[in-house]
Homo-oligomer: A and B are copies of this chain.
Amino acid sequence: MTAHPESDTPAKPARERSTRQFQAVRDELARSGDFRSAQDIHAALRASGATVGLATVYRALQSLVDSGAADILRTAGGEAVYRECGDTHHHHLVCRSCGRAVEVQGPAVERWADDVADRHGFTDVSHTVELFGVCGQCQRQQQ
């Protein structure tokens, strides 16, 4: 649990050659716009005919996160999920049963987060807000 401050600015080339595989990962992530696990992306690419190694997917995603082009988040199951980090910041309402995700905007939450952080003297604040529930359709099926 010891997060280290980035004391150095390593001369990290951060990807200098653009390759088919890297593009494929980036595209796949952008296509859905939703949170996707590395394994998921890897499977999708394989299914669509692209030949990409799992390690490469991880490396590409890592690279995207490093460069700020993607967001990373951990699911309750311990999987890392990635999302293209566009300009619009939003959250998700995910159905526990069918997995469908609804995109939600929460100006109220944004404001609250900033306010709380400020009050405690924290800066450079980011936040994670995810809602889980059962959607109407699944409720009916379960009843």
Contact = CB atoms under 8 A, between A and B. Distances in A.
Given A108-B108, A130-B128, A117 B93 contact: yes
Interface residues of A, number: 54
Interface of A: 1-5, 7, 35, 37, 40, 72, 74-81, 93, 95-99, 102, 104, 106, 108-109, 112-113, 116-117, 120-136, 138-139, 141-142
A89 to B, nearest CB: 14
A120 B96 contact: no
A143 B40 CA distance: 40
B99 A106 contact: no
B113 A112 contact: no
A133 B126 contact: yes
Given A5-B138, A125-B132, 5 more contacts: A1-B75, A3-B97, A4-B97, A5-B141, A106-B116
